[in-house]
Amino acid sequence: MSTARLDVLTIGNAIVDVLSRAEEDFLAGHAMPKGSMTLIDEARAVAIYDAMGPGIEVSGGSAANTAAGIASLGGKAGFVGLVRDDLLGTVFAHDIRAAGVAYATAAASSGPATARCLILVTPDGERTMNTYLGAAQNLTTDHIDRATVEAATITYLEGYLWDPPAAKAAFLDAAGIAHAAGRQVALTLSDAFCVGRYRDEFLDLMRRGVVDLVFANEAEVKALYSTADFDDALVQLRADAKQAVVTRSEKGALFTAAGATVTVPAHPVAEVVDTTGAGDLFAAGFLFGHARGIDAATALRIGALAAAEVISHIGARPQKTLADLAAGAGLIR
């Protein structure tokens, strides 16, 4: 196995987030399940955008946010995701490169517009997402560069990308390339509603060893095993996954592998402003540590610190340099 050029290569939907504050009656009035991620068409995207209050537009997308977090920690991150050659596509490409992430996916010259996610943040900090996938769903195996995958210690896929069949094929192709090169493959389950759509397929990926490391939150693990009992779900997860990270909000997080489990508490945060990106940044912290050979407990703590930073402000990418925060906490040198 050659020396890796990237710590982590993430593959996911290239999306521009539009964030706005909203009361819960706005969600109810527009039939939005609170805390969910709903896929919408372009007409619905226009209707919600017109009804939203003032918004903040920032480049996002789950796997892209994770890549930006890894770069903020001082790691070497790459991202694969498709945009259109339009204004939002230009904004997305500029932002992710400015964050220090290697991004070389050529923009599409025709077809749907660049994806956008309309995020409504309620007063408790919870986010409800309405996603128009646009160009992002047209990612194919043609966009997977073999040499780049082979050069990454870990290739990481967001579960949201499992919706479009061609993108699904692209991930499976990347996973095969990574394993042939002796690299690791990770998957985030992304959303309980996403798990509901693809439960059997996600379980199959774990059981066949297509993925080596699974990321999930408590709700997603329960959804995966169709149970309200977290302990029962965790027992089943240990049996199916080679390695898994589970976040539990204020209850902290855990890593389990080979029958052993490590747990850490949540990192303290003065005020929860917006939970958008919390899971993405937790994954960034853990993946950074895991790729660098840092022990699981410390990697979990780096993830908790990164998540705490991102929920302290509006937006899904860090506003402070995570490497400085982690060094100040004694987690990295």
Amino acid (one-letter) located at 257: A
Query: Any idea what DSSP says for residue 52?
Result: S
Q: Rounded to whole angstroms, how far apart are CA atoms 69 and 289?
A: 12
pLDDT at 1 over 50: no
Amino acid (one-letter) located at 278: A
Task: Give pLDDT, residue 2.
Answer: 53
Task: Give pLDDT, residue 275.
Answer: 84
Task: Give pLDDT, residue 268.
Answer: 92
Contact call for residues 59 and 91 (beta carbons, < 8 A): yes
pLDDT digit string (tens) for 154-181? 999 999 888 889 999 999 999 999 999 9
pLDDT digit string (tens) for 304-316? 999 999 999 888 8
Task: Give pLDDT, residue 161.
Answer: 87
User: Higher model confidence: residue 43 or residue 77?
Assistant: 77
pTM assigned to the model: 0.90
pLDDT digit string (tens) for 215-267? 999 999 999 999 999 999 999 999 999 999 999 999 999 999 987 999 999 99
CA-wise closest residue to 155 among 145, 142, 163:
145
Q: Rounded to whole angstroms, how far apart are CA atoms 211 and 222?
A: 19
Residue 25, class by beta-carbon neighbours within 10 Å (0-12 exposed, 13-18 middle, 19+ buried)? exposed
Q: Which domains does the chain have, with CATH numbers?
A: 6-13+61-112+136-329 (3.40.1190.20)
In the three-class reduction of DSSP (H, G, I as helix; E, B as strand; rest coil), residue 216 is classed as strand
